[in-house]
Amino acid sequence: MTVEEKSPALSGAERAERRRQRELARRERRRLRRRRRLKTAAVWLLAVLTAGALTVAGTRLARGRGKPAAPSASAPPAASAPEPETPWSVSEAADTLALGQELDSGYAAVVDADTGQILAEKDARTAVCPASMTKILTVLVAAEHVTDLDAVFTVPIEITDFCFSHDCSAVGFSVGERVSVRDLFYGTVLPSGADAAMSLAAYTAGSQETFVEWMNEKAAELGLSSAAHFTNCVGIYDPQHTCTVLDMAVILRAAEQNALCRQVLSAHTYTTSATAEHPQGIPLSNWFLRRIEDKDAGSFTVEGAKTGYVTQSGSCAASYGESGGRALLCVTAKASSAWRCIYDHAALYKRFSGE
């Protein structure tokens, strides 16, 4: 079944109504989040006030009787304040390995995906441009807002022109092509398509600017370092578009916790739905996953990955590997080539495989 068969052409009024409905849904989600936060704060405040009132009352009673106040057997215990949610975080240990010249990449971090312990690092807290690893955050933010993967988005000329003028990697969608949201997810990750990423941002947020705001809100929610700040959903170089490789490890873990993102990041190949412009669909590949398959990563299997490249950060990659129930996050940047980046990841997994 083609995308056209699933979603017939919409009139301008119908498109406007869909945009209005999406905006109403976003407002409702924000309202519910604010309500939950206010409810939590109210419960905490009530607990504090109750405990304070009981203490004061007990003290006054004790003074009146000339003896210490004893708690009433019938009085319920003071409510305890709710524990605030603490974001999953990373931390060094006494045996954290300092990596050196044995690694081609200039920046690296290997993190236990369960405990957050940093197993190995190399300038892991230095701010770098994350290049197209940025798109992990892009699909994570989009996944938290999208409700219909079969909905379609019409690719505008502004997006294709941007990709061409900035020499971005792209899926190859045509101007006016009606692409399913599902295809936008896979197109963002597998070929690192800027046309797919920008279309996904425009579909979910209505504009690139609003989507970038959501990205930075998510970064704050994840508890990333002060170095983390994003100015675009693609990963093109901007001196203000930075994070550390440890920040990217936290982002990758959050994405792996999301079922849709995990599915997309683990796909080796995918073919987009047939459209009028591409009747056979467009075949896509995650070349990092396909190329690391036969490399010696010890007992680990690399289950998901996203690469990146800009001149300032060299070849980069963030990957997720599993072995016997253990999971590691591996993020590197500033490798001299895409192949050296792959070999660095394989070597790091092997180092911690116990072989």
The conformational region for residue 223 under phi > 0 = left, psi -120 to 50 = alpha, else beta, is left
Q: What whole-number distance in Å separates Cα of residue 120 and Cα of residue 118?
A: 6
Only one residue has tokens 């970064």, namely 219
pLDDT by residue for the chain (355 residues), tens only, comes to 333 333 345 566 656 666 666 666 566 556 555 555 555 555 555 555 555 555 545 555 445 544 444 545 555 555 555 555 678 889 998 999 999 999 999 999 999 999 999 999 999 999 999 999 999 999 999 999 999 999 999 999 999 999 999 999 999 999 999 999 999 999 999 999 999 999 999 999 999 999 999 999 999 999 999 999 999 999 999 999 999 999 999 999 999 999 999 999 999 999 999 999 999 999 999 999 999 999 999 999 999 999 999 999 999 999 999 999 999 999 999 999 999 999 999 999 999 997 6
State CA 82 to chain mean position distance: 27
Tokens of 317: 């990659």
State CA 52 to chain mean position distance: 42
The answer to whether 255 and 136 have CB atoms below 8 angstroms apart is yes
The answer to whether 88 and 116 have CB atoms below 8 angstroms apart is yes
Tokens of 147: 């409700």
Please state the φ and ψ torsions of residue 164, each to the nearest 5 degrees: -70, -45
The answer to whether 130 and 308 have CB atoms below 8 angstroms apart is yes
Q: What is the pTM of this model?
A: 0.78
Only one residue has tokens 């009787």, namely 65
Tell me the C-alpha to C-alpha distance, in Å, between residue 80 and each of 52, 72, 87, 192: 12, 18, 21, 48
Strands 269-271 and 178-180: unpaired
Q: Is 95 helix (H, G, I), strand (E, B) or coil?
A: coil
Residue type, 127: A
